[in-house]
Amino acid sequence: MTSSAGDGIFRKPPGRITRWLFRAPRYLYRVGFSRVLGRRAVLLEHTGRKSGLPRETVLEVIRHDDKSFDIAAAYGTKSDWFRNIEADPNVRISTGRIQHAEATAVLADVATAESAFADYTEAHPVAAKAFGTSLGLPVDDPARMAAVVPVVRITLTGPAAEA
């Protein structure tokens, strides 16, 4: 799962306060309030590529259906979670009623990414504008977004455990 998309064009990673805010949803999952976030967010459980230790990351879902979730890698291919799933695409996810479900994460092709960004912009125009603005990209151009921002498709592979 390699891609040159997303390499070197993004603003610097978030600062300490912003990172804390980004991590806040993880605590909602830990205390059993994952339903508050619905299917707009997913708790991704993956394995550290160097340490082999379990890791958790909460990510925004830009599109989903019953068996798959499309995630934009906003900080590109250099994100730790992205590099970890490149090394081991076998993951587990929790979102809404789905808890610790086995899944596989793969880099989506450009056509899938473009379609996902178009759907996201239509369904969530305010969030899409904020996303594009934060990256300095035009939100009204899904093709440009797809060419620059990698999208990962997470597909459920086993029975989803209902909470």
Q: Is residue 7 part of a domain?
A: no
Pairwise CA distance, residues 159 & 31, whole Å: 23
Pairwise CA distance, residues 91 & 72, whole Å: 16
Total-model pTM: 0.77
91 within 8 A of 44, measured Cβ to Cβ: yes
Q: What's residue 2's pLDDT?
A: 43
94 within 8 A of 103, measured Cβ to Cβ: no
Helix axes 125-135, 110-123, angle to 10 degrees: 120
State how many domains the chain has. Answer: 1
Q: What's residue 34's pLDDT?
A: 56
Pairwise CA distance, residues 63 & 128, whole Å: 12
pLDDT along the chain (163 residues), means of 10: 46 64 60 59 92 91 92 88 96 86 96 94 87 78 88 89 48
CATH number where 89 lies: 2.30.110.10
Q: Is residue 10 part of a domain?
A: no
Q: What's residue 4's pLDDT?
A: 44
Residues in the chain: 163
Amino acid code (one letter) for 32: G
Q: What's residue 33's pLDDT?
A: 56
Q: Is residue 4 part of a domain?
A: no
Give strand pairing partners of 102.
Answer: 92
Q: What's residue 139's pLDDT?
A: 72
Among 82, 67, 62, 56, which residue's Cα sits nearest to residue 2? 82
Element holding 145 (H helix, E strand): helix 142-148
Q: What is the DSSP letter of 36?
A: G
Domain, as residue range, for 143: 16-158
Q: What's residue 117's pLDDT?
A: 93
